[in-house]
Structure 1
Amino acid sequence: MFTTIKRFLIGRPLRSNELEGQKLTKLKALAILSSDALSSVAYGTEQILIVLATISTAAFWYSIPITVGILFLLLALILSYRQVIFSYPQGGGAYLVSKENLGLLPGLISGGSLLVDYILTVAVSVSAGTDAITSAFQTLHPYSVEIAIILVIIITILNLRGLTESASVLAYPVYLFVFSLLVMMGVGIYKIATGQVPPDLHPHLGTPVAGITLFLLLKAFSSGCSALTGVEAISNAIPNFKDPAPNNAAKTLLMMGGILAVLLSGITFLAYWFGIAPKETETVVSQIAEETFGRNILYYFVQGTTALILVLAANTGFSAFPQLAFNLARDKFLPRMFTIRGDRLGYSNGIIFLGVASILLIIAFQGNTERLIPLYAVGVFIPFTLAQTGMIVQWIRKKPHGWIVKLMTNLIGALITFGVLMILFITKFPQVWPVFIFLPIVILIFRRINCHYEAVGEQLRIEGMFKDEIRENVIIVPVAGITSVVERSINYAKSLSDNVIAVYVAFSHEEEKRMEKRWEEWGNGVRLVTLHSSYRSIIYPLSKFLEIIERKSRERNYQIMVLVPQFIPKKRWQYILHNQSALLIRMKLLWDKDVVVATLPYHFKK
């Protein structure tokens, strides 16, 4: 039943040699890896206006110069990450750049920030998409959290089906979104040019605004920088591109930057000219679309495609998170399960983990996009800054041809991103202070996992020649009576060793004597040890007995094996009709004792 449902949801398993067929073309990669960055235009301008609205609507003209500053930062990031792509074609982006050039701790900070950021990507994108849906259909507003959770589950299943299949599905909404916004911008600008929009809806550029401060402008700028999240995703996922992967990734990055610049500029300009003010129950894009088209089919087309890309922007996280988790797991900082490809050749454990974590985040923040975005922006600007700094160190150390120009590009990028990061910390500290708690925790988890793997490797390492020091097995068979299951277990144990001990735990002295008498009458030639349990526990007396046997076995170089008989009911539901003594014994011994634990199953036919 489970296998049937799994095959229906994610499809048939793929062979390992079909991996090349799962690589992405530039157009598919643009859709699947740039959806986060492109979708951010739907709320980037809105975040600027929310801050400026705290002064007055007269301050909205500042959104124009603020957007120009953001576009300059975008250019610096695109040029910088283009160099990262060619320098680190194996993927990993900021994590590998920081680790190799700045040291292990900066690498872990960068990797941890990005992992958390991709979880936030999914939560923010889906929450923003839900906002777009509830803006068009406001009766759904009370159910926004439930809608967001359902959408995350759908995207998770899509990604479990594989990269190319999810890209084929998701490419259409992304390009429809770009097309719908270009149409809206074209119609809006045409109406402005032909005088159909009154010129007094907006404050004139340069209008003096009482109460405006540099602190407020920097806060608005840092809020608008949320439109740049996702720029780094392409550099993290280079192995997902078709060959030549670095060239295709670099071209995709340039295409994404160009489209993002056009859309962000257009949305900001229309919002300014139409005098749009942010509302709690309706997005800025929704208001622009209504001013441009009215509440007709074109308005709903814009809202529909906006909602789709905001939801599907989560796919950037689903594409980049598993690859980054693979790199960290390969370096022994995350569990090795993140290095395993699933049935559809994707890193399915990373995909499932990301889906579950983002759902928990949506529930914790009740799908409030505005509360999540500051954390989201900080999470991405930390690796932005570290990546640029790491590239500076690399150019100084290696000095390749033309390294001065490359150095200056990354230096400018590092200074700008560090400045934005400081602005975010200063202006939004009440919202971003959790970074100082969860990031050290993430790094501590990385360290503990790494220490564990290093300790395991040290203990598994073979030193010198092979030594066979085990002379004989001592086999302990816990028994609950004299049955066909016990008889089979004793006979099997005798076939492995001449040193077999049956152990029976009695809850009363009468029961103990009765078992000893029956065992003697049975006469199987195996010694029976009876243990008395005053507190009706099987595990504790057995554990104390094994401690005695362990001490003797160390003196004589014997290996202890505990052979646990277990019968298997014909129907799975019948397990609940029996106690789970065998399971409890195995769990206790595996954790606490240095013994071999084996199970001899006995399957019932009826």
Structure 2
Amino acid sequence: MGLDSLGSSSYGPEAELTILLPLGAWGMGYLGPVMAFVIALLAVLYVSYRQTLAAYPTSGGAYAVARENLGEYPSLLAAAALMIDYVLNVAVGISSGVGVLVSAMPSLHPYIQPLCFGIVAIITIANLRGTGEAGWLFALPIYLFIVCFLGSVGYGLIRIVAEGNPRPIVAPPPLGPPETAAAGWLLMHAFASGCTAVTGVEAVSNVIGSFKEPIIRNAYITLTIIVVVLGLLRGGIATIVTWFEIGAMDQTRDGYKSVLSQLLGAVVGHGVFYYIAMSSLLCILSLSANTSFVGFPRICRVVAADGYLPKAFAQPGRRLVFTAGILFLSGIAALLSISFGGITERLIPLFAIRAFFTFRVLQVGMVAHWRRQPQKHPAKLLTNAVGAASTGVALIVILTAKFTEGALITLIAIPVTIILLKAIKGYYTSLEHELPTPVR
């Protein structure tokens, strides 16, 4: 469940630095404030989701909360945003993983799309065999990634404190002169891109039913570990790239190096540890798609049980996995990879928007939940109200900044998905009316 969130520590800073690239070396001075706002938003989401887990210990996803507290259309908005979210997570995670691979092995750059397809196929097959067998495969890269990158960030911070002005072991490409002034619009745009770093926090509440007893305690521990590690990585990465003046590079061009590849080179060089760390990053980004392969079939099962999707999505297959949901997810993700060339930067604008639709609906649903309780909980109500306001402001910023870069696609896709869900529900309702009543 942490693969999605921890993987975002790679493409979140890269997305911010891509926007700040026109500022040249001056852009480094603005990365810290942008990152601080993102981490503050992460903290708000953490507290809000802890309350959601306690209030909904069996099904705490945005769809379930909205269905109970806000009604049909808000719940369908949450369902549509969640399903689009899961599909985009597969595409972004795998494209980012392939970006890491071509950073370490530039000769593979011409094969970005075939590599994306290959990773989608491997993860699909693993999940069709059952998450019980796939789980051990997905756990080891997480621990290796945490050790490698928290260790590298920690070592880099020690070098900064001890040396004052440390020299990079492998110097990153020099940042060019500023091409524009640091306008508020540009910083807002960078914040919108950086919000991709808080995606995945909702994964625990979406699949809380899969935890073993004690459910709430285990869910709390998982959520806390994910958020703490993500916060430490975001803060540490922002500090190191600022000191070493590491900027984003164009993934479509030969010689591309990801931000974390440049960071490792600057802090520890290109020795054996570099390739071990990059391998762990490749695995965690590629396998971050597994969060979707766990969550997407489950949300489809719940929505299908309510009659808004074909019944096949609610029926487990031979190995007790929801085969229809897994195959549908992998097919759409592959089509996205074709459409956007497997380039992460092209997918990022779509990625943050649908997540904040989900965040916003869930927070508003939780506010309605606490208001309906006979015993009042003013502190909990205030917490979710702050969460609703924060995610609402972030959503407006993202929509404004990313409107011409992909927000319009999401704004079209969500209502179209809702219309399809309603049409399927209407079909099943009319079918029930036409079928004869069984004679007892």
Question: Is the structural similarity TM-score above 0.5?
Answer: yes
1:141 aligns to 2:141 (yes or no): no
Greater radius of gyration (CA): 1
CA distance in structure 2 between the partners assigned to 1:193 and 1:104 by the alignment? 55
1:62 aligns to 2:30 (yes or no): yes
1:329 aligns to 2:304 (yes or no): yes
1:420 aligns to 2:394 (yes or no): yes
CA distance in structure 2 between the partners assigned to 1:56 and 1:169 by the alignment? 41
CA RMSD of superposed structures (Å) = 1.9
CA distance in structure 1 between the partners assigned to 2:246 and 2:431 by the alignment? 60
Q: Does structure 1 retain, via aligned residues, the 8 Å contact 2:22–2:179? A: no
Quick one: which of 390, 393, 404 aligns to 1:430?
Answer: 404
Aligned partner of 2:323 in structure 1 is 348
Q: Does structure 1 retain, via aligned residues, the 8 Å contact 2:159–2:166? A: no
Summarize the Cα distance change of 1:199–1:69 in structure 2 as closer, same or farther, 3 Å threshold: farther
Question: Which whole-Å deviations, capped at 9, do the CAs of 1:540-587 have from their partners, x for residues lacking one?
Answer: xxxxxxxxxxxxxxxxxxxxxxxxxxxxxxxxxxxxxxxxxxxxxxxx
Aligned partner of 1:462 in structure 2 is 437
Quick one: which of 198, 203, 206 aligns to 1:236?
Answer: 206
1:357 aligns to 2:322 (yes or no): no
Matched to 1:168, the amino acid is W
Matched to 2:205, the amino acid is S
Q: Does structure 2 retain, via aligned residues, the 8 Å contact 1:89–1:245? A: yes
Pairing 1:325-404 to 2, within 5 Å after superposition: 325-400=300-375, 403-404=377-378
What's the TM-score, normalizing by structure 1? 0.68
Matched to 1:103, the amino acid is G
CA distance in structure 1 between the partners assigned to 2:420 and 2:60 by the alignment? 19
SS at match of 1:132: helix
Aligned partner of 1:82 in structure 2 is 50
Q: Which has the higher contact order (CA 8 A, sep 6+)?
A: 2
- Give how far 1:165 is off: 1.6
- Give how far 1:350 is off: 1.0
1:71 aligns to 2:39 (yes or no): yes
Summarize the Cα distance change of 1:112–1:210 in structure 2 as closer, same or farther, 3 Å threshold: closer
Quick one: which of 281, 286, 303 aligns to 1:311?
Answer: 286
1:34 aligns to 2:34 (yes or no): no
CA distance in structure 1 between the partners assigned to 2:321 and 2:135 by the alignment? 13
Aligned partner of 2:159 in structure 1 is 191
Quick one: which of 214, 218, 224 aligns to 1:248?
Answer: 218
Question: Which whole-Å deviations, capped at 9, do the CAs of 1:349-386 have from their partners, x for residues lacking one?
Answer: 21111111111111111101111111111011001001
1:264 aligns to 2:264 (yes or no): no
Aligned-residue sequence identity (percent) comes to: 37
Question: Which whole-Å deviations, capped at 9, do the CAs of 1:265-298 have from their partners, x for residues lacking one?
Answer: 1111111111101112110000000011111111
- Give how far 1:196 is off: 7.2
Pairing 1:532-571 to 2, within 5 Å after superposition: none
SS at match of 1:295: coil
Q: Does structure 1 retain, via aligned residues, the 8 Å contact 2:65–2:365? A: yes
CA distance in structure 2 between the partners assigned to 1:412 and 1:112 by the alignment? 24
Out of 208-217 and 369-378, give the one that drifted further: 208-217
CA distance in structure 1 between the partners assigned to 2:334 and 2:427 by the alignment? 29
Summarize the Cα distance change of 1:80–1:209 in structure 2 as closer, same or farther, 3 Å threshold: farther
As a proportion of its length, which structure holds more strand? 1
Aligned partner of 1:214 in structure 2 is 184
What's the TM-score, normalizing by structure 2? 0.93
Matched to 1:149, the amino acid is F
- Give how far 1:217 is off: 1.2
CA distance in structure 2 between the partners assigned to 1:55 and 1:422 by the alignment? 24
Out of 343-352 and 368-377, give the one that drifted further: 343-352
- Give how far 1:193 is off: 2.1
Aligned partner of 1:442 in structure 2 is 417
CA distance in structure 2 between the partners assigned to 1:284 and 1:94 by the alignment? 33
SS at match of 2:22: coil
SS at match of 2:23: coil
Aligned partner of 1:48 in structure 2 is 16
> Which runs of 5 or more residues in structure 2 are unaligned?
173-177, 251-255
Aligned partner of 1:584 in structure 2 is none
Aligned partner of 1:297 in structure 2 is 272
CA distance in structure 1 between the partners assigned to 2:338 and 2:216 by the alignment? 38
CA distance in structure 1 between the partners assigned to 2:66 and 2:267 by the alignment? 46
Quick one: which of 274, 290, 295 aligns to 1:320?
Answer: 295
Summarize the Cα distance change of 1:244–1:458 in structure 2 as closer, same or farther, 3 Å threshold: farther
Question: Which whole-Å deviations, capped at 9, do the CAs of 1:285-319 have from their partners, x for residues lacking one?
Answer: 00000011111111111111111101011111111
Quick one: which of 146, 155, 170 aligns to 2:123?
Answer: 155
Aligned partner of 1:18 in structure 2 is none
